[in-house]
């Protein structure tokens, strides 16, 4: 397979393969999916598939990392770098990550399937932790002294737990309702937050 520069047409083709994989995993499980299934479902031929991917594992890895990279990028959209924002000032725009997950819910719903995309159950929470560790600094309510590494992990994994519950309930709450509850919870232990990642 030759490495080629990205173009809108090639990106669309890869997106079609990725969406085919998502749908087929939900239909028959990852292990049962073949390259033949993918090209038939997406209405391409094998040669086109192999221009982009070595095999279905390469496709799955690209899909997973594309979506998780998008998750990281979505986090910083509402923020200005190195400025503190008090949790009393948080609003729906502060949670671009929630909008992103909801817009890509067909992918994130894969966590509900036992035979699913390899790595999603480990790399998804690891990405949330990475975001909390590398892109934010927190001040506790009343400047309560705590071990900030513990605090960051506690907060990140708590957030991940709420995300997975939201996904497991088939996004029963609207993004706006979910964000409203997240803001309420944030105010119980976070005084302010500073975004330290890239804009």
Domain segments of the chain as ranges: 8-195
Share of the chain above pLDDT 70, in %: 96
- The reported pLDDT for the residue numbered 1 is 47
- pLDDT tens per residue across span 43-96: 999 999 999 999 999 999 999 999 999 999 999 888 877 788 999 999 999 999
Rounded CA separation 110/32 (Å):
15
CATH annotation of 8-195: 1.10.357.10
Average pLDDT for 89-117: 96
Q: What DSSP string describes 159-198?
A: HHHHHHHHHHTTS-S-HHHHHHHHHHHHTTTEEEEEE-S-
Band of pLDDT at residue 4, cut at 50, 70 and 90? low
pTM of the model: 0.91
User: Measured in Å, how far apart are the chain's first and last C-alpha atoms?
Assistant: 34
């Amino acid at each position: 397979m030759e490495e080629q520069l990205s173009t809108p047409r090639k990106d669309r083709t890869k997106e079609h393969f990725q969406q085919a994989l998502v749908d087929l995993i939900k239909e028959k499980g990852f292990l049962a999916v073949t390259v033949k299934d993918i090209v038939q479902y997406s209405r391409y031929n094998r040669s086109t598939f192999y221009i982009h991917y070595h095999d279905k594992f390469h496709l799955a890895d690209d899909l997973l990392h594309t979506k998780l990279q998008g998750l990281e990028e979505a986090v910083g959209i509402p923020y200005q770098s190195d400025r503190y924002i008090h949790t009393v000032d948080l609003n729906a725009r502060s949670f671009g990550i929630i909008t992103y997950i909801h817009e890509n819910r067909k992918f994130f719903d894969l966590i509900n399937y036992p035979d699913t995309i390899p790595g999603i159950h480990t790399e998804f929470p690891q990405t949330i932790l990475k975001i909390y560790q590398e892109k934010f600094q927190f001040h506790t309510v009343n400047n309560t002294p705590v071990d900030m590494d513990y605090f960051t992990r506690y907060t990140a994994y708590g957030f991940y737990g709420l995300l997975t519950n939201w996904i497991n309930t088939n996004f029963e709450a609207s993004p706006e309702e979910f964000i409203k509850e997240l803001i309420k919870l944030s105010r119980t232990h976070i005084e302010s937050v500073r975004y330290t990642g890239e804009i």
